[in-house]
Structure 1
């Protein structure tokens, strides 16, 4: 393994994000073990969060060095849904940033193999923007024998770096976070003719309107829908005299749209970014995105138009 540069030209001052796809145990070991060894030799905290099989392989290869790791944790215990998982991840990153100058992470998001975990790719994408100034290297592991082809395609589009055999290189398929998110959100089409539509000038009207629309079939999601729409209407009324609500059901999902005549969303990724303690904006979108099962933002046009999707 002479000539291997596990982190290439990374100088430890900014975020580096690599998507490593492997098919064999040997490929995994040859990539991860030098990465860990380099970090330990430099005195950097090294954290490993991976599935049981990967941790077993690494424990055998690393031997006594496992005790030198800052963390060696089961990834299976981390999944709490996209928003809650990212919230916990963000909290731990901020703690590290306050205590050490730089660090490196080996992470296997095992939940990408589950249907409810595949939206994690959106959070992986947004991480490139919201963690750009954090000084750590994230080596994300993806088992090509276990994950669907669509997930592996998303890995290439959400990670700026890939492994070239002796050093990381730029990923040709990488996309800007906003572009990636637009490509994977629900397709934006015309409202159905039977959609209920209401113009509101305060959040109270919005709450009452949504509650009136929700029949018994959606009672279980009523609280989530009302709170999410409340937050988006507050945002809309900051930039527009009135907000327009629309509500309908499709394919066993409740859809609620909030539209305004303001300047539009300056950053469509905001709802995927945990708001900082001193951050003034973005909390309403973060809350709404977490309450809904899916979200879509209209491409272009006047003002902002957001659709929230709720499953039964």
Structure 2
């Protein structure tokens, strides 16, 4: 179920910085129509660090309700506080998410032994299937393959979103965790090569604005139709790059608004809207990806 193009969903905000649930529900319908494989709500792209716990859970609940079982939903349930990660996991288990996405504790800089203790405590307290999330560029913490292999022995730990930018991790993780362990790329520009090496898909920022194209790309890749997959990747590569011309999710929220997918491009402070040079670069990338016309 959890393979192919999985969108790392933005959290739409009003101009006043409040969650725009009307746009959020419309986004779920967009991904249902476009063939997205699953929705990951309240991850990095969803601005999880700046939403209060009740808001965080309401966003995930709204996505689950709108999806109505037609699409798997992955809920961001990680924290740098193990007790909070347990609270989020339990709450999401009750609301019926397919799996949790559990980022490594950020800022604390735990050791590998501490990471094992953190995730063991979560799985002992909640039966929610857990996808580990390794993004050292954000967290200052790198979840190493040997540690992942040991955590994979815990029944609720079903996979990892690997966003270290290191393609050699695919082979290392397969060696440590076996072929049935879910391997998802967290880097759009590397994701096709990640799948070619044995990965199962991507948790994608680009899929927010090119949902049908990303779904087609990874359907082709998983079927071994590399010419089709490579052609789509070439078309989307400038967009993959432009969506990181500023801190994620600033550019992708602007692109979503430009395409009429959400009402406002506003992120929540301390992030601010995309500047003029970024808008120019991203608009050109949207043209190259054939998502908007030139003019």
Q: TM-score range by the shorter chain?
A: under 0.3
Higher strand residue share: 1
Instruction: Compare CA radii of gyration and give the structure with the larger one.
Output: 1
TM-score, length-normalised on structure 1?
0.26
